[in-house]
């Protein structure tokens, strides 16, 4: 299913499986659109603190306008240690 959006005035779209769309809220879709916007259009820039997202079309429905705020959170990654039981 295609989600068409506009983030900070730049149009884009995301193709999503129907199973994803069925469980995601409009807010979650706006967060995903903001993430894709920064990854696709500004890959080397630090995302702005605020991204304005208009979810223009999902299966013929407009989902509205959203302000998506960037929050920096720690990310933890684990790797197995050899020789430890």
Domain that holds residue 42: 2-69
pLDDT tens digits, one per residue of 49-62: 899 999 999 999 99
pLDDT confidence bin for 85, thresholds 50/70/90: low
Residue 82 lies in a domain: no
DSSP one-letter string for 25-49: -HHHHHHHHHHHHHHHH-TTSPPPS
Residue 53 lies in a domain: yes
Residue 80 lies in a domain: no
| SS3 call for 23 | helix
Phi (first) and psi of residue 67, to 5 degrees:
-105, 120
Residue 13 lies in a domain: yes
Residue 44 lies in a domain: yes
Residue 49 lies in a domain: yes
pLDDT tens digits, one per residue of 33-42: 999 999 999 9
Task: Please give the model's pTM, rounded to 2 decimal places.
Answer: 0.82
| pLDDT surpassing 90 at residue 10 | yes
Total tally of structural domains belonging to the chain: 1
């Amino acid at each position: 299913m295609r989600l068409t959006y506009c983030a900070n005035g730049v149009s884009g779209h995301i193709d999503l499986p129907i199973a994803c769309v069925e469980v995601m809220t409009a807010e979650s879709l706006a967060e995903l659109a903001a993430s894709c916007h920064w990854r696709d259009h500004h890959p080397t820039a630090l995302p702005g603190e605020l991204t304005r997202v208009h979810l223009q079309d999902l299966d013929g429905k407009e989902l509205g306008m959203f302000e998506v705020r960037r929050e920096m959170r720690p990310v933890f990654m684990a790797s197995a240690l050899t020789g430890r039981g």
